[in-house]
Structure 1
Amino acid sequence: MTTTTEAAPQAATDPAGVPARPAGLPGEILHWIGGEAVPSADGRVLDVADPVSNTAYATLAAGGAADVDRAVAAARAAFPAWSALGNRERATLLNRIADAVEAREEELAAFESFDTGLPITQARGQARRAAENFRYFADVVVALGEEAFRVGAQQLNYVVRTPVGVAGLITPWNTPFMLESWKLAPAIASGCTLVLKPAEWTPLSASLWPSILADAGLPAGVVNIVHGLGPEAGQALVDHPEVPILSFTGSTATGRHIVRCSADRLKTVSMELGGKSPVVVFADADVEAALDSVVFGVFSLNGERCTAGSRVLVERPLYEEFTRRLAERAERVRVGLPGDPATEVGALVHPVHYRRVLDYVEAGKSEARLVAGGGRPAHLPEGNYLQPTVFADVPREARIFQEEIFGPVVAVAPFDDEQEAIDLANATAYGLAAYVWTSDLKRGHRVAHAVESGMVWINSHNVRDLRTPFGGVKASGLGREGGAHSIDFYTESKIVHVMLGDVHTPRFGADEQH
């Protein structure tokens, strides 16, 4: 497959007010099965629209059970040769993929920004992170060792890793290319073959994977892509009897459904689900650093991020000042066309999601005090735009305190002491991330240990080393991926016991019975 012509960075808009189409934009997006671009077996398609004009720019193959069957068959056919390949050879291919991703950073960023509404400067960062994922897992599999245990002089026990088989990967619409790379890289590094089902709202950057992977020399059938709706293509992948392992990133409701469907076949699942992450700001915190972190953490990526610090809990002596300054910053955040390098918040991904976020804003107006945003910016009369929104004095029972909004909306509430801060932080069903700001590191550690979340940052925004485990507790997910945890997920461990000395087994039945 030939490489798509590299695109120039996305222009802001054409004279008609519609966002400029990136160079090389496809008119149709097909499945990629067994190394070939193919339509759906039944010929069905979906329209895909950009979030600035909400106008269809391409058709998307709408996959179903027949397409998933074909993709799984291709993955199974490719599995023996791919799983038998040495780790060094697989790592070489992973590095080639990283090279190909980096070479097309501007094209990827332009596609991602156009398709998702993500500001172009932030889309560029996602492309770089995607390449880093492949380089990292190339290093991991080359350095990977296997455990051995000597039992005195009598026995040696050693562990052998084998790839699980065909993996099913289901990815979300927020930062889609990077999150696809996060699953693709460890799966193929581990020796699995796979079927990827990208989000139907944002399939554009996924359409670049076939040429990237083929140009890097990945054998046909190792990666297969089936597009379509979750209840159709996604459900067929979840239910397929020859897909023993599923990695899903998305909503908690969908995650619960997938776990229920997987139970009968006892499939191995990894679920990275929703979040309602607290930011705990004590009065002794570095206020400037905490404020910068809060603004960036909840408004970057358009607020459409699972680890967003969307509940800000501030110790009462600092509460009024911090809330006022947060509101001032939110009003000054630059909302604009995704392709404009000055834009800090772009268009929300889809009209359905946009309406959902606006519904939460309306609910918040009756639950708390609106101190910033809450509506469409005056200079953007069309498109899925919302001025970053801040609610103050939010009670813990409020919907905007309890439920994931997944947009540029933040709830702020006061606390009086450390225990109340912990209680408020833990007062939701979610437990993905948390952030603690204090000059007292002893207190920082105490709070970090007491907060019910899979990840905590102390005096830091969301900066994560790829070696660390990623995942949540409670309604935020099951299992961990990242670093060696990803390799553990995509491989089976077999223990082999070898007797080195004489065998002394009790001899049942050896004596003659009278």
Structure 2
Amino acid sequence: MTNTSPATNTHYVPEDLPTHIQHYIDGQFVDSISGKTFDVLDPVSNGNYATAAAGQKEDIDRAVAAAREAFVNGPWPRMKPRERARVLNRIADAVEAQEDRLAELETFDTGLPTTQAKGQARRAAENFRFFADLVVAQFDDAMKVPGSQINYVNRKPIGVAGLITPWNTPFMLESWKLAPALATGNTVVLKPAEFTPLSASLWAQIFKDAGLPDGVFNLVNGLGEEAGDALVKHPDVPLISFTGETTTGQLIFRNAAENLKGLSMELGGKSPCVVFADADLDAALDSALFGVFSLNGERCTAGSRILVERAIYNEFCERYAARAKTIVVGDPHDPKTQVGALVHPEHYEKVASYVEIGKSEGRLLAGGGRPEHLPEGNYIAPTVFADVAPEARIFQEEIFGPVVAITPFDNDDEALALANNTKYGLAAYIWTQNLTRAHNFSQNVEAGMVWLNSHNVRDLRTPFGGVKASGLGHEGGYRSIDFYTDQQAVHITLGAVHTPKFGSVDDAASTEG
């Protein structure tokens, strides 16, 4: 067992929790037409604290109809960018004003440590401010052929955007999709993850208070195979933005094909963290620990495969494991907690099963199961396996929990081969003082995003997305504007029109009468 440091073992329950969570359609809170519900539990006690309306096809139809009406006949798509930006900034103000409450609810619903949940609320507000600024500053090319022609690009919102979001940092990731979709003049139907509907339910009042017209934002709770499936297949939803695991993304890809929908999908990851012998070892250790154990390890960009040059391998493993054993695991609401409870007992069982698999695939250095001081709840101690072979399941498969595999390498070529030896390609982290190696390695690693001598800090202007099984398309900055708008080329002739004449005008005239 682990000697991971404990935080206070309590069960904090926020005041004024709802006992029932409804949909929000066309400016109204409503239940499912069928009356169906599902239970929502908190990950510390695994007790049900609320029911949620379980959206079915008819509820998605109702939400899409409201969004479509707001798009075709409502004011939102026809507002000037500055007018929409004012609404988005009021949304950001409201999110910031509720930071403590949002973090409290997010922590309760997801099991994320409260200190990390507060950071998610601030990032959500920043997403709205960023896209409010970007849509006002947005401009497109105009190309002139003097005396002959002017060509320009006209951007237009596409219509109803279907947004399907995950449970790991739900409120922030919802904002990541909502902000650009709304900024560009689209209307939306949001289907949040069924494990974590609590914070998503706050968007409705935030948007109403900010002045967003009814029907522009709609929310339908429910299971992916019911509400999510209906949203993906709906013929009046031309766009789907999805964040989640790869097998679900493949299913969405197939189901969206019939109606040729625009797709943006950020999927799974098994990202390498590559540490060369010349790296700043202290900085690399800090980053490699934070990169896989923050957010309870439930992060798509986690550097969960650590590749270490053999000259420093033993020292790295020893120091990494020693640090992992001191990570504070406990109640997510305790400010001392660094790793809280995994989101749901189903996910806990999945991660725990990989821990058991790892015991036959690597050398266990830390963790290995439930912390002794936490007999209840979805807790797994930060777990470190060394000497993991490239064909091992814990090297190849996304675990999405506080579990890391460490593997040695002898040279740059081997390091690159190991880094690319997975079906995923979302992120990569590279630690070296050799500038030439850093750039050559980053350009050859199969990853959509690379951090050189840095942990996961992202500029909102840069593209976010992966390659291979990690996704389709990119969002972030202007890439989000591209995804949520149609780009229409407009061509205007100046002066006389010189068009080849098909058929003889003179012959046609002589035969008349």
TM-score when normalising by structure 1: 0.96
What per-residue deviation string (whole Å, max 9, x for no partner) do you get for residues 433-484 of structure 1?
Answer: 0000001111100100000000000000000010000000000000000001
Identical aligned pairs, as a percentage?
Answer: 68
Matches within 5 A, 1:438-477: 438-477=432-471
What per-residue deviation string (whole Å, max 9, x for no partner) do you get for residues 69-104 of structure 1?
Answer: 110111111114210011000000000000000000
Is the Cα contact below 8 Å between 2:42 and 2:108 reproduced in 1? yes
Alpha-carbon shift at residue 226 of structure 1 (Å):
0.1
Q: Do residues 42 (structure 1) and 3 (structure 2) align?
A: no
- The aligned residue for residue 144 of structure 2 is 150
Which SS does the other structure have where 1:366 is aligned? coil
What are structure 1's unaligned runs of at least 5 residues?
A: 1-11
Matches within 5 A, 1:118-137: 118-137=112-131
CA distance in 2, matches of 1:418, 1:18: 48
What per-residue deviation string (whole Å, max 9, x for no partner) do you get for residues 21-57 of structure 1?
Answer: 2122101000000010000000011010000100000
* Aligned AA (2:372): A
Q: Do residues 65 (structure 1) and 28 (structure 2) align?
A: no
Is the Cα contact below 8 Å between 1:116 and 1:174 reproduced in 2? yes
- The aligned residue for residue 414 of structure 1 is 408
Q: Do residues 216 (structure 1) and 210 (structure 2) align?
A: yes
Q: Do residues 79 (structure 1) and 55 (structure 2) align?
A: no
Alpha-carbon shift at residue 153 of structure 1 (Å):
2.8
Alpha-carbon shift at residue 18 of structure 1 (Å):
6.6
* Aligned AA (1:300): S
Is the Cα contact below 8 Å between 1:369 and 1:391 reproduced in 2? yes
CA distance in 2, matches of 1:153, 1:477: 45
CA distance in 2, matches of 1:229, 1:201: 9
- The aligned residue for residue 178 of structure 2 is 184
Query: Which one of the candidate residues 90, 103, 114 is aligned to 1:109?
Result: 103
* Aligned AA (2:487): S
Matches within 5 A, 1:122-271: 122-271=116-265
- Number of residue pairs the alignment of both structures matches: 500
Alpha-carbon shift at residue 146 of structure 1 (Å):
2.1
Query: Which one of the candidate residues 355, 369, 372 is aligned to 1:378?
Result: 372
* Aligned AA (1:345): V
Moved over 4 A (4+): none
Q: Do residues 298 (structure 1) and 292 (structure 2) align?
A: yes
Which SS does the other structure have where 2:359 is aligned? helix
CA distance in 2, matches of 1:360, 1:24: 37
Is the Cα contact below 8 Å between 1:149 and 1:157 reproduced in 2? yes
Is the Cα contact below 8 Å between 1:396 and 1:424 reproduced in 2? yes
Which SS does the other structure have where 1:413 is aligned? strand
Is the Cα contact below 8 Å between 1:18 and 1:53 reproduced in 2? no
Which SS does the other structure have where 1:194 is aligned? strand
Query: Which one of the candidate residues 386, 402, 406 is aligned to 1:392?
Result: 386
What per-residue deviation string (whole Å, max 9, x for no partner) do you get for residues 139-180 of structure 1?
Answer: 001111122111343111110000000000000000000000
- The aligned residue for residue 476 of structure 2 is 482
Alpha-carbon shift at residue 215 of structure 1 (Å):
1.2
Alpha-carbon shift at residue 19 of structure 1 (Å):
2.1
Which SS does the other structure have where 2:336 is aligned? coil
CA distance in 1, matches of 2:158, 2:242: 16
Which SS does the other structure have where 1:261 is aligned? helix
CA distance in 2, matches of 1:510, 1:485: 49
CA distance in 2, matches of 1:510, 1:358: 81
CA distance in 1, matches of 2:11, 2:54: 25
CA distance in 1, matches of 2:250, 2:474: 16
- The aligned residue for residue 430 of structure 1 is 424
Alpha-carbon shift at residue 364 of structure 1 (Å):
0.8
Alpha-carbon shift at residue 507 of structure 1 (Å):
1.1
CA distance in 2, matches of 1:379, 1:20: 17
CA distance in 1, matches of 2:15, 2:467: 42
Alpha-carbon shift at residue 356 of structure 1 (Å):
0.3
Which SS does the other structure have where 1:270 is aligned? strand
Is the Cα contact below 8 Å between 1:198 and 1:227 reproduced in 2? yes
Which SS does the other structure have where 2:360 is aligned? helix
Is the Cα contact below 8 Å between 1:252 and 1:476 reproduced in 2? yes
What are structure 2's unaligned runs of at least 5 residues?
A: 1-6
Which SS does the other structure have where 1:57 is aligned? strand
Which SS does the other structure have where 1:367 is aligned? coil
TM-score when normalising by structure 2: 0.96
Is the Cα contact below 8 Å between 2:113 and 2:335 reproduced in 1? yes
CA distance in 2, matches of 1:178, 1:143: 23
Is the Cα contact below 8 Å between 2:89 and 2:132 reproduced in 1? yes
CA distance in 1, matches of 2:145, 2:253: 39
Is the Cα contact below 8 Å between 2:10 and 2:331 reproduced in 1? no
Is the Cα contact below 8 Å between 2:188 and 2:217 reproduced in 1? yes
CA distance in 2, matches of 1:153, 1:276: 56
* Aligned AA (2:58): A
- The aligned residue for residue 9 of structure 1 is none
- The aligned residue for residue 53 of structure 1 is 45
203-212 vs 422-431, which deviates more?
203-212
Q: Do residues 335 (structure 1) and 323 (structure 2) align?
A: no
What per-residue deviation string (whole Å, max 9, x for no partner) do you get for residues 343-388 of structure 1?
Answer: 0000000000000001111111111111111111111111100110
CA RMSD of aligned residues (A): 1.2
Is the Cα contact below 8 Å between 2:287 and 2:454 reproduced in 1? yes
CA distance in 2, matches of 1:20, 1:376: 20
Is the Cα contact below 8 Å between 1:282 and 1:437 reproduced in 2? yes
What per-residue deviation string (whole Å, max 9, x for no partner) do you get for residues 314-351 of structure 1?
Answer: 00101110011111111110000000000000000000
Q: Do residues 19 (structure 1) and 11 (structure 2) align?
A: yes
CA distance in 2, matches of 1:415, 1:152: 60
- The aligned residue for residue 501 of structure 1 is 495
